[in-house]
């Protein structure tokens, strides 16, 4: 590509509210322009990068035996009513009407459409297993789009859906997809982890998220330093402590804490550590209120709480009025001691081994010290309720957990029969009897990968693309071509030679001053650069510099070609 024939649109200034690096750099490099909240136009430069990601994804999906197809982005309401998700998907579902007032949605995902396709197309177990995929624009009406392309409303996704007669067959394809994803993210030059994920309300047997590690990531993941265990924070199990509950030594004593409502305030006021306190949360259960007790320095894990039989899938805190009615006190002073018998007390594993602890007094402005389980407060059940923290033992028994931030770029999921059942997608088995198909689904956030890569690979000057994602692999910069025809000719010749070898090169023939040219090429992250100038021609060598190096070096043309493989 000759830059004089391209539309490069770098800018120096970027809105003050573009907060994260990838958003700022994508705007500065002119890769994207915002059209409306969560909607972005991909410029020619941005699209080149997006296509590179697509290319790798497509190659590896094909290699893994998946078959590409394309489904409509607009989907009819009726299909979504069959699975119950027209209502259940909630506000993220963008609903639209056509001129006949027929209702549709802009697809946020394609389980309904693919399962409808499958039930019509697949008739025999001999057609299974099969794995269909597409690379398609999706729309989710996010409550709060942010971070540019990272959490946009419209985005590009690769989604695939596999169909099986047996769970074993599903497990095989799942493993193949796991491998394919590993290859994809490795080829894209990303530092990532596959982490165990919660299977959520859908159920299913297994799920992994592929997380690109970056401090700006929205997800927290826990990983072991002594094994390959990794899980997202929602899923990671907090093991039962190995210590026994200490023998009680203190008497239960009520103390005044007139204004101290938070654990930090209470602990500071009473001069004890938060670890010696028990925090009690009252939630709306399926039958009346439920108390959850955690150690003061720990945080509740909502997913784990949602799995308790006493609580709904998505638990919510009780209101102040409900708490007042049930306990006679307000949030901040609730404790397990002296709660009404009707309220089950579910205690986290770590809170359950505390002795002589501090807890709320169930009366405004008071707490207990010297509280002990069994003597002073009953335990209905002990459960894992908390988020793991840095330093916890790994659940697989090897090593210690650490917490990192990640950007979710891929997700593999053993769906099971939920959609096949709702849409009655069956094939006949070898006995001639209809069987529900079992499904897997596998997603990759293609557009999000572009932003994730920048989060991971940038410096003060701009983006450092991995080779596989770079819009061009090498930039040929020409200095003062107008003054010296030989320089222009040499640059043109090198550009032609690179192109003939199939090396994607960009010739910067815009006639800019050197500073502007270098700054642009660094900003847009071209991995290799060669400068052609009078000075270099005289020396008979090429002036080469890699994007991640700070010094140029003189090399011959043969060496350059070898370098670019």
Partner RNA sequence: CGGGGUAUAGCUCAGUCUGGUAGAGCGUUGCGUUUGGGACGCAAAAGUCGGGGGUUCGAAUCCCUCUGCCCCGACCA
Give the integer Cα–Cα distance in Å for 99 and 447. 32
Per CB under 7 A, 38 contacts RNA: yes
Q: Rank residues 60 and 376 by Cβ distance to RNA and give the closer one.
A: 60
Q: Is residue 16 classed as helix, strand or coil in its secondary structure?
A: coil
Q: Build a one-symbol-per-residue string for 437-456: x at contacts with RNA by CB under 7 A, - elsewhere.
A: ----x-x-x-----------
Residue 245 DSSP symbol: P
Residue 171 DSSP symbol: H
Q: Build a one-symbol-per-residue string for 283-302: x at contacts with RNA by CB under 7 A, - elsewhere.
A: -------------------x
96, 74 Cβ separation under 8 angstroms:
yes
Give the integer Cα–Cα distance in Å for 385 and 236. 11
Q: Is residue 268 classed as helix, strand or coil in its secondary structure?
A: helix
**Smallest distance from the beta carbon of 7 to RNA, in angstroms?**
13
Please tell me the count of residues contacting RNA according to CB under 7 A: 54
Please give the sequence-ordered ranges of beta strands (E in DSSP) within 204-344, or none if there are none. 207-213, 219-224, 230-232, 253-256, 278-284, 289-295
Q: Whose structure tokens read 């003597």?
A: 375
Per CB under 7 A, 115 contacts RNA: no
205, 167 Cβ separation under 8 angstroms:
yes
Per CB under 7 A, 553 contacts RNA: no
Per CB under 7 A, 112 contacts RNA: no
C-alpha angle 241/245/247, rounded to 5°?
160
Q: Rank residues 91 and 328 by Cβ distance to RNA and give the closer one.
A: 91
**Smallest distance from the beta carbon of 373 to RNA, in angstroms?**
29
**Smallest distance from the beta carbon of 321 to RNA, in angstroms?**
17
Per CB under 7 A, 70 contacts RNA: no
In degrees rounded to 5, what are phi and psi of residue 520? Answer: -65, -45
Burial of 203 (0-12, 13-18, 19+ CB in 10 A): exposed
Span of 12-20, 75-83, 375-383, 494-502 interacting with RNA by CB under 7 A: 12-20
C-alpha angle 284/290/291, rounded to 5°?
125
Please give the C-alpha separations between residue 130 and each of 43, 172, 209, 422, in angstroms, as whole numbers. 36, 12, 22, 20
Span of 179-187, 289-297, 479-487, 494-502 interacting with RNA by CB under 7 A: 479-487
Please give the C-alpha separations between residue 518 and each of 489, 529, 531, in angstroms, as whole numbers. 20, 9, 9
Q: Build a one-symbol-per-residue string for 333-372: x at contacts with RNA by CB under 7 A, - elsewhere.
A: ----------------------------------------
Q: Build a one-symbol-per-residue string for 50-69: x at contacts with RNA by CB under 7 A, - elsewhere.
A: --------------------
Q: Rank residues 205 and 480 by Cβ distance to RNA and give the closer one.
A: 480
Token pair belonging to 274: 């938060």
Per CB under 7 A, 405 contacts RNA: no
Q: Rank residues 219 and 396 by Cβ distance to RNA and give the closer one.
A: 219
Per CB under 7 A, 482 contacts RNA: yes
In the set 97, 126, 535, 553, which binds RNA (CB under 7 A)?
535
499, 505 Cβ separation under 8 angstroms:
yes
The continuous run of DSSP H or E covering 158 comes out as strand 154-164
Preceding peptide of 129 cis, ω within 30°: yes
Nearest Cα to Cα of residue 206 among 174, 237, 166: 174
Per CB under 7 A, 34 contacts RNA: yes
Q: Is residue 412 classed as helix, strand or coil in its secondary structure?
A: strand
In the set 78, 121, 264, 534, which binds RNA (CB under 7 A)?
534
Q: Rank residues 37 and 41 by Cβ distance to RNA and give the closer one.
A: 37
Span of 9-17, 114-122, 352-360, 466-474 interacting with RNA by CB under 7 A: 9-17
Per CB under 7 A, 247 contacts RNA: no
Helices (H), 188-228: none
Sheet architecture: strand order including 278-284:
278-284, 289-295, 345-348, 381-383
Q: Rule CB under 7 A: which of 130-149 touch RNA?
A: 142-147
In degrees rounded to 5, what are phi and psi of residue 144? Answer: -140, 95
Per CB under 7 A, 202 contacts RNA: yes
Give the integer Cα–Cα distance in Å for 313 and 302. 9
**Smallest distance from the beta carbon of 410 to RNA, in angstroms?**
8
Per CB under 7 A, 373 contacts RNA: no
**Smallest distance from the beta carbon of 97 to RNA, in angstroms?**
18
Query: Quick one: how many helices (H) and strands (E) in the chain?
Result: 15, 30
**Smallest distance from the beta carbon of 198 to RNA, in angstroms?**
8
Q: Rule CB under 7 A: which of 314-333 touch RNA?
A: 314
In the set 36, 70, 243, 558, which binds RNA (CB under 7 A)?
36
Q: Rule CB under 7 A: which of 406-435 touch RNA?
A: 411, 413
**Smallest distance from the beta carbon of 508 to RNA, in angstroms?**
11
Give the integer Cα–Cα distance in Å for 544 and 498. 14
Per CB under 7 A, 471 contacts RNA: no
Q: Rank residues 224 and 414 by Cβ distance to RNA and give the closer one.
A: 414
Give the integer Cα–Cα distance in Å for 285 and 305. 10
**Smallest distance from the beta carbon of 485 to RNA, in angstroms?**
14
**Smallest distance from the beta carbon of 430 to RNA, in angstroms?**
32
Q: Rule CB under 7 A: which of 508-527 touch RNA?
A: 512-516, 518-520, 522-523
Q: Rank residues 169 and 199 by Cβ distance to RNA and give the closer one.
A: 199
**Smallest distance from the beta carbon of 266 to RNA, in angstroms?**
21
Token pair belonging to 76: 């009819």
Per CB under 7 A, 531 contacts RNA: yes
Binding region for RNA (CB under 7 A)? 10-17, 19, 34, 36-38, 109, 142-147, 157, 200, 202, 218, 302, 314, 411, 413, 441, 443, 445, 461, 479-480, 482-483, 512-516, 518-520, 522-523, 531, 533-536, 543, 545, 552
């Amino acid at each position: 590509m000759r830059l004089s024939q391209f539309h490069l649109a770098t800018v120096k200034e970027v809105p003050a509210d573009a907060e994260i690096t990838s958003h700022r750099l994508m705007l500065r490099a002119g890769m994207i322009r915002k059209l409306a909240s969560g909607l972005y136009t991909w410029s020619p430069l941005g699209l080149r990068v997006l296509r590179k990601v697509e290319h790798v994804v497509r190659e590896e999906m094909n290699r893994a035996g998946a078959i590409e197809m394309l489904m409509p982005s607009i989907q009819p309401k009726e299909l979504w009513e069959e699975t119950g998700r027209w209502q259940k998907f909630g506000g993220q579902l963008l609903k639209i009407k056509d001129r006949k007032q027929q209702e549709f949605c802009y697809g946020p995902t394609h389980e309904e459409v693919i399962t409808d396709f499958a039930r019509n197309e697949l008739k025999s177990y001999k057609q299974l297993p099969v794995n269909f995929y597409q690379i398609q624009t999706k729309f989710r009406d996010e409550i709060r789009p942010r971070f540019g392309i990272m959490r946009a409303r419209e985005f590009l996704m690769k989604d695939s859906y596999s169909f099986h007669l047996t769970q074993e067959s599903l497990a095989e394809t799942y493993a193949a997809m796991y491998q394919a994803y590993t290859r994809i993210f490795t080829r894209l030059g990303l530092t990532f982890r596959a982490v165990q994920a919660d299977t959520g309300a859908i159920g299913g047997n297994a799920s992994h998220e592929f997380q690109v590690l970056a401090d700006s990531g929205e997800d927290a993941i826990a990983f072991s330093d002594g094994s390959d265990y990794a899980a997202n924070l929602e899923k990671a199990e907090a093991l039962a402590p190995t210590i026994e509950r200490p023998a009680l030594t203190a008497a239960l004593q009520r103390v005044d804490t007139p204004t101290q409502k938070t654990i930090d305030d209470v602990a500071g006021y009473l001069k004890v550590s938060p670890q010696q306190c028990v925090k009690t949360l009252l939630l709306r259960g399926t039958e009346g209120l439920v108390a959850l007790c955690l150690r003061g320095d720990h945080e509740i894990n909502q997913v784990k709480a949602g799995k308790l039989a006493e609580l709904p899938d998505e638990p919510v805190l009780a209101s102040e009025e409900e708490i007042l009615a049930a306990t006679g006190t307000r949030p901040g002073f609730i404790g397990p001691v002296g709660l009404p018998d009707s309220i089950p007390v579910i205690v986290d594993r770590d809170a359950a081994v505390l002795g002589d602890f501090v807890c709320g007094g169930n009366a405004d402005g008071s707490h207990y010290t010297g509280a002990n389980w069994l003597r002073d407060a009953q335990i209905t059940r002990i459960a894992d309720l908390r988020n793991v923290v840095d330093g916890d033992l790994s659940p697989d028994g090897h090593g210690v957990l650490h917490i990192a931030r990640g950007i979710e770029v891929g997700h593999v999921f053993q769906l099971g029969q939920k959609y096949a059942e709702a849409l009655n997608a069956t094939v006949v088995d070898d006995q001639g009897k209809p069987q529900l198909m079992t499904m897997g689904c596998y997603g990759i956030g293609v557009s999000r990968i572009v932003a994730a890569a920048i989060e991971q690979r940038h410096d003060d000057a701009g983006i450092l693309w991995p080779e596989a994602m770079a819009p061009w692999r090498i930039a040929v910069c020409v200095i003062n071509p107008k003054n010296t025809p030989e320089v222009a000719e040499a640059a043109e010749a090198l550009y032609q030679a690179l192109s003939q070898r199939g090396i994607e090169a960009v010739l910067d023939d815009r006639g800019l001053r050197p500073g502007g040219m270098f700054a642009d090429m660094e900003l847009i992250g071209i991995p290799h650069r060669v400068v052609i100038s009078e000075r270099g021609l005289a020396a008979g060598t090429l002036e080469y510099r890699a994007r991640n190096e700070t010094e140029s070096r003189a090399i011959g043309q043969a060496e350059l070609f070898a370098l670019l493989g």
